[in-house]
Amino acid sequence: MSSRIYVANHTHLPELWQALNTFYLHQHLDWQSVDAQIAQANILSLENNQRLTALLSISACFHHTSWVKLFAVRNDRDAAHCWEQLFIPAIERLRMDTAFLDVYTIATWDWYLRLITNHPGFTFLLHIVTLECDLMQSLEMRNEAGHPIRSLHNNDLVIIFDIDQASFQPPWQLDIQNLTAAFEQSTFSRIIEIDKQPAGYILAASNDGSCHLSRIAIKPQYAGKGMGSLLVSELITFCRSNNVQRITVNTQETNLASLKLYRKFGFTPVDEKIPVFFSRQGNAQ
């Protein structure tokens, strides 16, 4: 059997889309498009006998971390073999400028969970949980201190990127490309200020009577001052005025501050947990 591994580009789009629609597909839960992954030269393709067999995309290294963006395979019985053929060259390309790389992945499908669980290099980290809020029962808060809350604009991206970097630790930070994509796909975006300084932001996307809270971040120096509550309350007000019935959000099961914030507004967990795994490639100096 003759095999070939190559980096996909826009000339391969028709066969890529066919593969994504017909192969067994694992896809990361974020905002980066396939086009963006192609532009970053992050999609590796495997051909066997001139027939596309598998695809693997791992995000560009950001603070020594990367996420598996997608893995697609024609036949799930060949998943482990195809993974081994693609994973090593994908990591070698990403590690050119870094001593070590932590690769993270979620597992939402049984076939992919089996693949990652049986891979000796990956270790279970935690679960991502989903919570939802019935807007008929949720509360709203008054902005007693009158902190300005305004809509986000394109020229605010650098500001919210700085907030994001200060608020989260790897691997939960967003690079500027993903943050921009999240902002562009949002139907609700707000920034809150204290003493004319940006203190936090929120992004959400609504569709067909439902809304997903995509991202919320508060600068560490303003944590515990109710800024997150005011932003969530602002989202609830927006949803009610636009006939949205339900809000969902994802967070790590270990993020106790976020869980406390959401439960305050009546968010309750749904019967869905997404396992997160990681693998360290190379050694930290």
Contact assessment for residue 230 and residue 214, using Cβ atoms and an 8 Å cutoff: no
Instruction: Please report the pLDDT score of residue 169 as a whole number.
Output: 94
| Distance between CA atoms of residues 280 and 131, nearest Å | 30
| Distance between CA atoms of residues 188 and 234, nearest Å | 10
Q: Which domains does the chain have, with CATH numbers?
A: 3-120 (3.40.630.30), 130-273 (3.40.630.30)
> Of 84, 93, 21, 23, nearest to 58 (Cα)?
93
Instruction: Please report the pLDDT score of residue 185 as a whole number.
Output: 96
Instruction: Please report the pLDDT score of residue 15 as a whole number.
Output: 95
> Of 47, 64, 65, nearest to 56 (Cα)?
47
- Residue keyed to tokens 């991202």: 215
| Distance between CA atoms of residues 171 and 65, nearest Å | 6
Instruction: Please report the pLDDT score of residue 145 as a whole number.
Output: 72
What digits encode the pLDDT tens for the residues 86-110? Answer: 999 999 988 876 778 999 999 999 9
Instruction: Please report the pLDDT score of residue 2 as a whole number.
Output: 87
What digits encode the pLDDT tens for the residues 26-69? Answer: 999 989 889 999 999 999 999 999 999 999 999 999 999 999 99
Low-confidence ranges of the chain (pLDDT < 70): 1, 97, 137-139, 283-285
What is the full DSSP assignment across 161-172?
HHHHHHH--TTS
Cβ atoms within 10 A of the Cβ of 227, count? 23
The structure's pTM equals 0.92
| Distance between CA atoms of residues 170 and 30, nearest Å | 15
- Residue keyed to tokens 């809270």: 213
| Distance between CA atoms of residues 9 and 17, nearest Å | 12
